Structure 1
Amino acid sequence: MNLIFNTEAHRLALLNRDNNSSLNPDNAHLTPKSERNRIGLRVVVLSVLLAPATAWWTVDQPVDVIFSLMVPPVVMTMLVAILSMGIRRVAPRYAFTERELITLYAMHTVLSAICAEWLMVIQPYIYSFAMFKDGDTRIDRFITPYAHPWFFMPPEMASKLEDFRNGGRNFTYFLTKLPLWLPFIASWTVLVSLVGGAMLCINSLMRDQWNNREKLAFPIIQVPMEIVRIGGGTSKIIRSPYFRTSFLMMLCIDLLNGAHFFYPNLPYINLRFIGDLQQYFPSPPLNAIGWTPIGIFPYMAVIGFFMPTDLLFSCLFFYFFRKFTQIFTYAIGYTESAGTFGGGGLVPGPPYFSEQSWGAFIGLFFAAAMVARPYLREVWRNIRKNERPENQVPPRWAFFGLLFCLVGLCVIGFIIGIPLWMMMFSVFLFLIFSVALTRLRAQLGAPSHEMAFMGPNQVLVDLAGTGTLSTAGISRMVTTLLFFNRIHRTHPMPHQLEAMKMGETAKINQRSLFVLIALAMVLGSVLGHSLYIYRGYRFAAPRSWGESTGTVSSLLERYRPTNPVALLFIVLGFAMVLGLDFIRFRFPGFPLHPAGYALAMNFGLDYFWFGLLIVWLVKLFIERYYGLKGHSKLHEIACGIIFAEFLCEGGFSLYSMMTRTAAYSISINGRLGWNQ
């Protein structure tokens, strides 16, 4: 069992290989240390110049940014790396270094994360309450009387938005209308930047603990690191026959499938959704297994080759455990909620998967804090003494930055009418979740971490009920903090930490990187809002999904007392995590990891569990019979597959953006719908 599941040696070997890579091994000793750590101005300028392209791609093609390794920043870095390879052949001194390519990727992945789900949720609500009421009396009763004009357009502005509603205008016309939107862009940018700034400060304070002391695996950064090594001239992976073979095979399959999309008579090799296990269980209680898609999605599945094997097994085990729980819950009489992954959003019901998920994430946060106690005491001493480590963000700066962001968020909540205790509860609980999710991704490397409709709202209602919450407080909290309570597929905090880890491998000055990540967040918000608005003037404004209105009206129209059963399941999830941690501490070879439980209890694995199962079986075989050498070949194969998939997806996306028509997609969501 230890031989199969203990992959610490493999993981540390890969990590050490990353940490030992140098930017220019032949010349590094000739350069002063301060110069080696400096980020050049040209890459900052290039990153800013390319930012609108990445932001537009993110805004216009959301199917490419609904998983952990987002396509736009990866492909953008890949293109610059290819350019660097060409420059190196004719003028080596002008080629981009690994440090520069990491900086570009760091800025663009954070920028893309901000532009993606957060703004996708926020932007339509700025105008929808005013423009798309369409006789919905709930908006007049529960939303517009309490919506603050800093963040949402009042109904009287609807007459100014007819051109935005109908579309058909060009970019020049959009620029003339931009002043109308600037106050809302500024307000939301401040709010989003304060939330992201708090996360950035936490990452800065905890970076050394997670990166160097606990030595988390960071599976997601393996592919971007190979890209920057190729561009920096230090990687030989493109010479590997394993890489080339997997790259060419995957490239041919995707190009064939892309051609089939336009010419259906051509063959099609289905690697997306192949089937659904539920169809084989038509009768209750087995049909309570719910939607159980059989899909491969190679670019997501092969990330499992980078994941520690015990964590990979844990994800699969707890996914099937959740499915069994659904069947069991139905069998004992809870027929309405047994087949749902989260009890139906804010309507908790057996088996309380969302509540279990919340307990698990709080447990992961608590366990991480306990492990880090000596480090936290050391950080506190550094804050008190104002120690300034070389090339690092001083802990005192990060600490006071965190306090500033937290106070700023509470002040905004107070000004717009959210009760202080509700604002503090939502912010602190969201940051607890964010820290746990960030550490989970650094440790596990999940291809996706979709926590569907899981947010502080749910815990607040379970804990306090609706009787103690005012109508204004509920309305303002739900509408303003909706992005706290969505799906979290492109949560920015993991991208920040991964950028710091990549910077650390290249010995980048962390102070400079901190500033550039902060700049990328602000730039992402401003560009994202502006481009969403431009799309409205160009192609007609989309409606919001009505989630805020539905949630607010549901909470206010039906009284809900404190839910002790839901709270009990939060405690159960918390205890499950601590129990698994205790068992793993006492029995080091124990294969189940609490991170797998936290991820599987929600919707994080449903799309690609089958692909991970195949990868897990292959990985077991290779590790059993070929060891570390075989593991390195799997690394090359995985990189080849992901490189090919992302390059093809980049081409398909470019075609869609230029022609305004759909094309094939490798994504879990197709451009023509769920299963294109």
Structure 2
Amino acid sequence: MRGIFRPLLVGLLLIPLCCYWAQDQVIDRIFSLMVPPLALTIVLALLNLLVRRALPKLALSGGEIAVVYAMLTIACAMSGEWMDMVGPSSYGFAIYSEQNPRYGTYILPYVHDWFFFRDPKPLKEFAEGGKSFAYFTSHLYLWWPKIGAWTLLLTLVTTAMLCISALLKDQWVHKERLAFPLVQLPIALTEESGPGQPPLWKSKLFWGAFVVVFAIDMLNGLSFLYPQLPHFNIRFIRDFNKAFVSPPWNQTGWTPIGIFPYLSALGFLMPTDLLFSLLVFFFVRKAQQIIAYTIGNEQGTFGGGGLTPSPPYFSEQSWGAFLGLFVSALWLARPHLKALWRQISTGERDPGGGFPARSLFVLLVACVAGTAAIGVAIGLPLPFVLLYVALFLAFSVAVTRLRASLGAPTHEMAFMGPHQLVLDFHGSAGLSNELLTRTLATFHFMNRIHRTHPMPSLMEGLYLADRNKLSARGMFLALFLAIPLGTVGGFLAHIYFGYRYTPVSWVSGELGGFVSNILSTPRPPNPAAMLAVVGGFATVMLLDFIRFRIPGFWLHPAGYALAMNFGVDYYWFGLLIVLIVKVFVQRFYGLRGYGQLRQLAFGLVVGEFMAELIWATFSMLNDRQMTYSISINGKMSWDQ
């Protein structure tokens, strides 16, 4: 635990700023390497270099900066997508019940007062917006019960994931040696060399890439504000699908050709076989849309039916694939799990100095039990809640393993969650309205897009501690503290923006529409969807079997799992360019050439993130004025 106090203090000071940024500029944290925590860490590292020269004793070490980064990533994740769901849903059904009578019919009679407002009267001023910060603080008494309930639930779920991460860390880091591509840049930024200056700052390739992309983004930002200025389009160039005007070739859905330097640059950090697999299965998914149309199934923008399963059942294939990744991870970890069980049953201490396995297991059980108790308290059957939470935790382990192996720029699994399997395998016809509404409303955060899923960041934080030879207990404590602080910080920021600008309405509309559709049109079990889940699972098992039998086989199941759902569409073209460049450099220039590619990639990412820091700050200081963004969507349309 030595040396943890200073980074904890710095992290606690920066978390409110990170949460504010995450809620104000939503588009800056919708990809794996989120802008707010990394940009703040870069600024901290630069300031630390100045402090090191003037007051060396006060300067933070590279390991201490890594702790701060880990805390900020968790705080940003907690105040990210989950807060986008629980915040608006906690008040939206009450505020907009008059405009949407179905809220009063299908939702408000069943949801629990702990988590949801039922009466819109206390929220009248909130719904109007246009209020000051002082007004916001004077009315917080209305919100503390809801903030407390949601913080407890989210903290229990996330702490369970932290315990699982700590239990699996040695297996993934030391035994399987997973790549953890997304923490290579934070490591490079905080690594010390000689007198303490990170070697990355000395790289000409790094600075060359930084200057070029930073200049382009600044020019594009000025052009966005002053259209008479020139701009260089490095976002979406065109929609490939528009090149085809007749079916079935125009059924591939939205297929943009775009660059996005920071997303493409992350491809240089990905293992080559995983990069190749991701692109191959992306094209396989597009081919499935063409085939599905030829047999009579119209394909929309994304294909697969979204919330209503339809051929080619992409979400169901993804679910099966992620369950396959989970089973595969457990199978590979059999010796490790046996050793863990011995430690749990005997109380044997961890020789590495981390938390004892028994303590982690007890805390894990307590968190799951606490989550289940909340479910029972709001009116759900205990076996149902336990199954629901178990499915989500299994999915979370698979997402974490995918990111630790693949390091994909995004992990976007649209509307995947336990409710999907419940409806596909059981149907809604045999479930009560109370159970369906309470489950879908209260646990909706487990079922959205998972862009800012916290468990991968938790595992990466533990990896950073191991890499920097930091106290495992100290990092565990730092991550644990960041969970509720990030949740409360995100909730407070969300409420403040509601008072200032008017509250968010689309979340309650989306969720309310889904719930009312399920309740008004009961669904039977869906055999085709079940078959797609089984098919996705079998595909992962087959690919794993082939890879074990044929070392060096280029198709990896993680690529299949991610590519079957929407998300890769944003940056597939950039990754294709990266794959060609990477294979060429590795073939003709070897490790030295690859090392130079990494420095180039780091420069591209840091350059774009620093430009985004400037434009996001400008927007935050000017009442959310529309500005240029490096992000994949949000302020700018999908084709800009």
TM over 0.5: yes
Amino acid at match of 1:74: L
Query: What is residue 534 of structure 2 aligned with on the other side?
Result: 571
- Output one character per residue of 1:311-338: Cα deviation in whole Å (capped at 9) or x when no partner: 0000000000000110011012222xx3
User: Where do 1:602-621 residues align within 5 Å?
Assistant: 602-621=565-584
Distance in 1 of aligned mates of 2:304 and 2:291: 15
Query: What is residue 512 of structure 1 aligned with on the other side?
Result: 474
| 1:294 alignment partner, SS class | strand
Query: What is residue 41 of structure 2 aligned with on the other side?
Result: 77
Count of matched residue pairs: 636
Amino acid at match of 2:46: I
Residues 397/342 of structure 1: CA separation in 2 closer, same or farther (3 Å cut): farther
Query: What is residue 425 of structure 1 aligned with on the other side?
Result: 387
| 1:562 alignment partner, SS class | coil
Distance in 2 of aligned mates of 1:40 and 1:438: 25
Amino acid at match of 1:267: P
Shift of 1:140: 1.2
Amino acid at match of 1:185: I
TM value normalised by structure 1: 0.92
Of the candidates 237, 240, 247, which is equivalent to residue 274 of structure 1? 237
Query: What is residue 503 of structure 1 aligned with on the other side?
Result: 465
Alignment partner of 1:60 is 2:21: no
Cα pair 2:305 2:313 within 8 Å, conserved = no
| 1:266 alignment partner, SS class | coil
Query: What is residue 348 of structure 1 aligned with on the other side?
Result: 309
Alignment partner of 1:584 is 2:557: no
Alignment partner of 1:175 is 2:129: no
Of the candidates 333, 348, 354, which is equivalent to residue 387 of structure 1? 348
Aligned Cα RMSD in Å? 1.3
| 2:143 alignment partner, SS class | helix
Shift of 1:342: 5.6
Query: What is residue 365 of structure 1 aligned with on the other side?
Result: 326
Amino acid at match of 1:470: S
Of the candidates 84, 97, 101, which is equivalent to residue 61 of structure 2? 97
Shift of 1:42: 2.3
| 1:606 alignment partner, SS class | helix
Cα pair 1:663 1:671 within 8 Å, conserved = yes
User: Where do 1:241-260 residues align within 5 Å?
Assistant: 241-260=204-223
Residues 345/289 of structure 1: CA separation in 2 closer, same or farther (3 Å cut): closer
Cα pair 2:239 2:639 within 8 Å, conserved = no
Shift of 1:262: 1.3
Cα pair 2:209 2:600 within 8 Å, conserved = yes
Alignment partner of 1:558 is 2:521: yes
Cα pair 2:115 2:150 within 8 Å, conserved = yes
Of the candidates 498, 509, 520, which is equivalent to residue 536 of structure 1? 498
| 2:13 alignment partner, SS class | helix
Query: What is residue 378 of structure 1 aligned with on the other side?
Result: 339
Distance in 1 of aligned mates of 2:361 and 2:22: 32
% identical aligned pairs: 49
Of the candidates 191, 194, 208, which is equivalent to residue 156 of structure 2? 194
Residues 87/455 of structure 1: CA separation in 2 closer, same or farther (3 Å cut): same
Alignment partner of 1:485 is 2:469: no
Shift of 1:368: 0.7
TM value normalised by structure 2: 0.98
Amino acid at match of 1:348: P
Cα pair 1:664 1:670 within 8 Å, conserved = no
Shift of 1:234: 4.7
Distance in 2 of aligned mates of 1:422 and 1:298: 45
Cα pair 1:148 1:416 within 8 Å, conserved = yes
Distance in 2 of aligned mates of 1:673 and 1:621: 34
Alignment partner of 1:622 is 2:564: no
Cα pair 1:580 1:594 within 8 Å, conserved = yes
Amino acid at match of 1:353: F
Query: What is residue 397 of structure 1 aligned with on the other side?
Result: 359
Cα pair 1:341 1:601 within 8 Å, conserved = no
Of the candidates 129, 154, 162, which is equivalent to residue 124 of structure 2? 162
| 2:558 alignment partner, SS class | helix
Cα pair 2:237 2:639 within 8 Å, conserved = no
Alignment partner of 1:184 is 2:184: no
Distance in 2 of aligned mates of 1:194 and 1:40: 24
Amino acid at match of 1:205: L
- Output one character per residue of 1:620-649: Cα deviation in whole Å (capped at 9) or x when no partner: 100000010000000100011111100010
Alignment partner of 1:153 is 2:117: yes
Query: What is residue 398 of structure 2 aligned with on the other side?
Result: 436
| 1:626 alignment partner, SS class | helix
Distance in 2 of aligned mates of 1:168 and 1:334: 47
My pick for the range that moved more, 264-273 or 312-321, is: 264-273
Shift of 1:51: 1.2
| Residue ranges of structure 1 left out of the alignment (5+ in a row) | 1-36
| 2:223 alignment partner, SS class | helix
Cα pair 2:318 2:561 within 8 Å, conserved = yes
Of the candidates 554, 559, 568, which is equivalent to residue 596 of structure 1? 559
Distance in 2 of aligned mates of 1:587 and 1:573: 21
Shift of 1:149: 0.1
Shift of 1:672: 4.3
Distance in 1 of aligned mates of 2:301 and 2:386: 30
Of the candidates 458, 461, 470, which is equivalent to residue 432 of structure 2? 470
- Output one character per residue of 1:204-226: Cα deviation in whole Å (capped at 9) or x when no partner: 10000001100000000011112
Amino acid at match of 1:285: P
Distance in 2 of aligned mates of 1:462 and 1:145: 26
User: Where do 1:196-345 residues align within 5 Å?
Assistant: 196-229=158-191, 233-335=196-298, 338-339=299-300, 341=302, 343-345=304-306
Shift of 1:343: 2.7
Shift of 1:339: 3.9
Shift of 1:159: 1.4
Residues 230/301 of structure 1: CA separation in 2 closer, same or farther (3 Å cut): farther
Shift of 1:101: 0.1
Cα pair 2:27 2:634 within 8 Å, conserved = yes
Distance in 2 of aligned mates of 1:396 and 1:135: 52
Cα pair 2:63 2:465 within 8 Å, conserved = yes
- Output one character per residue of 1:448-467: Cα deviation in whole Å (capped at 9) or x when no partner: 01001111111101111112
